[in-house]
Amino acid sequence: MHRDRLSAKPHYVILDGLRGIAAIIVVTFHLTEFLASGPLDILVNHGYLAVDFFFLLSGFVIGYAYDGRWGEMSIGSFIKRRVERLQPMVILGMTLGALGFYFTDSTIWPLIHTVPLWKMLLVMFIGYTILPVPLSLDIRGWQEMHPLNSVGWSLFFEYIANILYAVGIRKLSKTALSIFVLLSAVALAQLAISKGDVSGGWTLNVEQVRIGLTRVMYPFFAGLLLSRVSKPKPVKYAFLWCSLLIIVVLYMPRIGGADHFWMNGIYESVCIIFIFPLIVYLGAGGIIHTTVERKLCKFLGDISYPLYLVHYPFVYFYVAWASNRQSTTLVDALPYALLILFGSIGLAYASLKWYDEPVRKWLRKKMG
């Protein structure tokens, strides 16, 4: 970590870099997911766990940044800060999804071209608020909370966790918070082991909302607890080792196969409950050795959130292309997948510099 000249607290540069690594893996997960015959043979089989890692990172950073500032900050001002940080890219991501909606011509979405413009615009404007749309407005047919940009579901649950933190959980003692986190871990493990994985949370129905809430509660508030109780010690080559650990965890093939789903649930429980906090702990204490490493971590951290929000509209095109062919192999898809991956990284960086940072600066002035 290093101390920012404009801040009294050091900034965890390595954690920024790890968030970028996880964001890139999310893109590779979405680009390989639709080439699989089912959940057992996805090439990036546990890529969706990156979302749970994001939740833990968010809780850690929120606690680190805001726990000591409530004497001078109201709940309203905290929410304003979160809106200023998160919403500009949400709006851009939904707009990109809307612009591409009628161009994803595919047999898996036969009703797209029958959706009236007013309905698509209504879904887009609701998406701007990050509130989920009901199933009656599922204009794509995949039962997504946000049919124009599916990844919006995790931002919805992130907001819920932020609001819960602001209105009450921040006041819990370390002991009370530890009990809350322990109960959340039990709920997460029960979900994962009984279901075989934690995947889900993107549909507005009782079952999927329960999955989404269970997925956010443990990691977000475990991150908060970690920010309060941990005292990271210097760790050499932390970025390298933590990056490798994230890659191994998220690229791990499905555990247990079709006959032993519970084994995969145990694996995912261990990853979220133990390994992810360990990675954050090591990353928080990590030492940056070179200027190149610092610049790499900064770049990865800068693009992580924009990349998460802009890539999925292009995945819709990719899925439409793949579904319109009788069979698509990894070799067939690889050139297009790499184009979307690197194109999304380029667009994420351009969005950051030409849109996100200027808009957030403007919002800070307007919101005071």
Q: What is the CA radius of gyration of the chain?
A: 20
pLDDT of amino acid 2? 46
Which amino acid is it at 280?
A: V
pLDDT of amino acid 42? 92
**Beta strand ranges found along the chain (DSSP E):** 2-3, 10-11
Short-list 201, 196, 204, CA closest to 212: 201
pTM (2 decimals)?
0.96
- Report the number of distinct structural domains present in the chain: 1
Question: In 168-290, which ranges are continuous DSSP H helix?
Answer: 174-195, 206-229, 238-251, 261-270, 276-284
pLDDT of amino acid 11? 85
Alpha-carbon distance values, 274 to 176, 219, 266, 292 (Å) = 20, 10, 12, 30
pLDDT of amino acid 8? 54
SS3 114: helix
Structure tokens at 364: 């800070």
Q: Which residues of the chain have pLDDT under 50?
A: 1-7
pLDDT of amino acid 147? 96
Which residues lie below 8 Å from residue 109, measured CB to CB, with a gap of 6+? Answer: 140, 141, 320
108 phi/psi in degrees, rounded to 5: -80, -10
145 phi/psi in degrees, rounded to 5: -60, -35
Q: What is the pLDDT of residues 19-33, one digit of tens each?
A: 999 999 999 999 999
Distance CA 266, CA 268 (A): 6
pLDDT of amino acid 27? 98
The range of the structural domain enclosing residue 336 comes to 2-367
Q: Please give the mean pLDDT across all residues of the chain.
A: 94
Q: What is the pLDDT of residues 192-240, one digit of tens each?
A: 999 999 999 999 999 999 999 999 999 999 999 999 999 888 999 999 9
A 10 A CB-CB count for 237 gives 13
